[in-house]
Amino acid sequence: MTRPFALHLPTRDPRAGTGRGLQGITAKNSNTRISASRLAPAGPAAVATRSPSSDNLGLNSERLRAAMIERLRSQGITDERVLGAMQAIARHAFVDEALASRAYDDAALPIGHGQTISQPWVVARMISAVCEQSLPTRILEVGTGCGYQAAVMAQVFSQVYSIERIRALYDMAKDRLRELRLTRVRLSFGDGMLGLPTATPFDAIVVAAAGVQIPQALLNQLAIGGVLIAPEGLGAQRLIRVQRTGPAKWVREELETVRFVPLKSGVQS
């Protein structure tokens, strides 16, 4: 799916809301993998590639996405369903116009309210991680943010649910997904730490914000055989993949070191 760059999107200040999250975690450096090169403080140097001006993006976005896909391959992403979905969805449509020229960089970007659109690698890794054994049908995302990951998931899975605790982001994601005619994604406003009891069980759950521990409510809402992926930890975070193997049995595996925005309880209206 391609769309022209000249979108009518709500105006937001990309610098808005650095958030009151964990120390050192900002909307610019969160929702990323931590590799040796990322341990340096985030700053202008974190923008690794030269980007064209946003005026050219409409013409170039397909090509920029193709380059992003090649970079993801070189970073170890191999699932063609995920790569195809990320080629199809215009990431620049989910960020403020002022940041659109950086939409295909290897970075998270601020989306306002102290939150972040996840780094492309994080989106690809999380979706790939729940597809390794079989393709889930019904998937829940906790932390819709701007709706980008939900849009990518809608290309891969037939039933996508996503829940967001910040009202303004929920409204924004809803508008954007409607503009993109991705009405198949079922968005909810609420505290995703409680899961979405009305739509359980889920074959897969993807959590886009880090808590000290993965909430038991989410583990309970997995179908037997279902897979959850979430960042866990406060300072040092790891991506954790959990498979439910029985009514009261879950098998955990630690994956990469990451840095995500905090998973918070309650809602922000």
CA quadruple 6, 11, 15, 18: dihedral, nearest 10: -120
Q: Using H for helix, E for strand and C for coil, what is the string for 6-66? A: CCCCCCCCCCCCCCCCCCCCCCCCCCEECCHHHCCCCCHHHCCCCCCCHHHHHHHHHHHHH
Strand segments (E) across 41-196: 109-112, 115-117, 138-142, 159-164, 186-189
DSSP state of 76: T
**Secondary structure element (H or E) that encloses residue 202, with its range:** strand 202-207
Active site residues: 118
Say if CB 86 and CB 123 are below 8 A apart.
yes
Nearer Cβ to ligand SAH (65/165) = 165
Say if CB 109 and CB 118 are below 8 A apart.
no
Task: Give the shortest CB-66-to-ligand SAH separation in angstroms.
Answer: 20
Nearer Cβ to ligand SAH (9/225) = 9
Task: Give the shortest CB-247-to-ligand SAH separation in angstroms.
Answer: 25
Exposure string over 145-154, b if 16+ CB within 10 A, otherwise e: bbbbbbbbbb
* Residues found near ligand SAH in the complex (CB under 6 A): 31, 115-118, 142-146, 148-149, 163-166, 169, 191-193, 208-209, 261, 263-265
Task: Give the shortest CB-36-to-ligand SAH separation in angstroms.
Answer: 24
CA atoms of 123 and 115, how far apart (whole Å): 15
Structure tokens at 189: 């406003």
Task: Give the shortest CB-170-to-ligand SAH separation in angstroms.
Answer: 9
Task: Give the shortest CB-245-to-ligand SAH separation in angstroms.
Answer: 26
